[in-house]
Amino acid sequence: MKRGVLLDTGPLVAFLNRRDRYHAWAEVQWNQIAPPMLTCEAVLSEACFLLSQTPLGSGAVIQLLHRGVFSLRFSLEDQAQAVGRLLEKYHSVPMSLADACLVRMSELFPSSAIFTMDTDFGLYRRHSRQVIPTMMPD
C-alpha cells in the first residue's frame, strides 16, 4: 500500500482480539499495510483500555509500538488549538479526542487514509470541507 495509514482504535483492537467480529478483516488489512502506520496516544489509550480484559492484554499494544508497527508522530500539545476546534465543531456527534487527533493528522499527512471502523469519519471533514479517505469494512 503506497499511501500512508493513520491507525484508529477499532482495527487495532480487532487485530489483537481474535474474538472481535472484525478480526479477520483487520488481519487481512494489516497484512497489506507496510509499517509504520501513524497514530496518536489517544488511540493507544483507548485500545489499551479496551484490551485490558483480553488474553493478550494492553501489553500487546505497547509491543507493537516497540516493534515499530506504528509510530507516534503527533503532539497533542502542539496541535491543541486545532484539535480543540474540531472537538467544538463536532461536539454533537460527539467526537472523541482520538477521532479529533486523527482528523488533524489527516490534515497534517494529506496523502494518508484513516484505517478505522468508525462510520463517523464519513461525517468529519479535514480543512472543514475535504472528505477524509478511509479504509473500513463494507
Structure confidence by residue, pLDDT tens digits, 93-115: 999 999 999 999 999 999 999 99
Mean residue pLDDT across the chain: 95
The span from the CA of 37 to the CA of 70, in Å, is: 4
Report how far apart, in Å, the C-alpha atoms of 19 and of each of 8, 23, 56 are: 18, 7, 12
Preceding amide of 36 cis, omega within 30: yes
CATH of the domain at 18: 3.40.50.1010
Query: Is position 138 within any domain?
Result: no
Is a pLDDT exceeding 60 seen at residue 1? Answer: no
Q: What cell numbers appear for 115 in the block? A: 484505517
Reported as a pLDDT band with limits 50, 70 and 90, residue 3 is: low
Predicted confidence (pLDDT) per residue in 26-45, tens digit: 999 999 999 999 999 999 99
Domain count, the chain: 1
**Residue range 110-131: mean pLDDT, rounded:** 96
Query: Is position 8 within any domain?
Result: yes
What is the structure's pLDDT at 56? 86
The span from the CA of 50 to the CA of 42, in Å, is: 12
DSSP letter (8 states) at residue 113: E
CA 88 to chain centre: 20
In angstroms, the first-to-last Cα distance of the chain is 19
Query: Is position 123 within any domain?
Result: yes
Structural domain boundaries enclosing 70? 4-133
Could you tell me which residues are beta bridge partners of residue 48? none
